Amino acid sequence: MSDTERGEVRRRGRNETEDERADRMWTELIQEVRVAQMGVQILFGFLLTVVFTPKYADLSDTDRTIYITTVVLGACATGALIGPVSLHRLVSGRRIKPQAVRWASRLTLLGLLLLLATTSASLLLILRVATHDDFVPYLVAGVVGWYLLCWFGLPMWTRYRHTTR
């Protein structure tokens, strides 16, 4: 019996079925999520401790608002980056791995965007408290630009440049 007769369509590029491709993509995605999760969990853990320090009482209303926003963004990023694990656990064995991979990929991308926002807001807060200088927003904007280039710009350029039509 051929792959086509079994309902397994082989794709171009790698000689793998849709299920084999989903398995490979799932493994790759989970490795990527591990890296992002580590960063967001360390950052989020640090953020949770700030409110218990003596310096917190000295923060201006603006800095407290930035802090609260940053904590909420960190919590959301953590949720989005842990979401693929829960998704996999709840749909495992249902023969919908390709769909699970697509949703997990979307959650991961959302988590990266939230991590970008969390990191940027954290940097803004830290630099505002540390320097009180007017150049802080420009410095943070430069770092955000760098993140956008590294995390999205170069990958999208590479995708465009090296993907065959």
CA atoms within 13 A on the CB side of 88: 18
Other C-beta atoms lying within 10 Å of the C-beta of residue 109: 13
Look-up of token digits 């320090």: 53
Residues 117 and 73: beta-carbon distance below 8 Å: yes
Label residue 84 exposed, middle or buried (CB < 10 Å: 0-12, 13-18, 19+): buried
Q: Can you read off the two tokens belonging to residue 2?
A: 């051929």
| Mean pLDDT, the chain cut into blocks of 10 residues (165 residues total) | 54 79 92 90 93 95 97 96 92 90 96 96 96 95 98 95 84
The reported pTM is 0.85
Q: Can you read off the two tokens belonging to residue 40?
A: 């967001």
Per-residue pLDDT at 14: 81
Q: Could you give the C-alpha distances from 6 to 18, 24, 29, in angstroms and in order?
A: 12, 20, 27
Per-residue pLDDT at 11: 47
The 3-state secondary structure of 29-60 reads: HHHHHHHHHHHHHHHHHHHHHHCCCHHHHHCC
Q: 102: closest CA among 112, 114, 113, 88?
A: 88
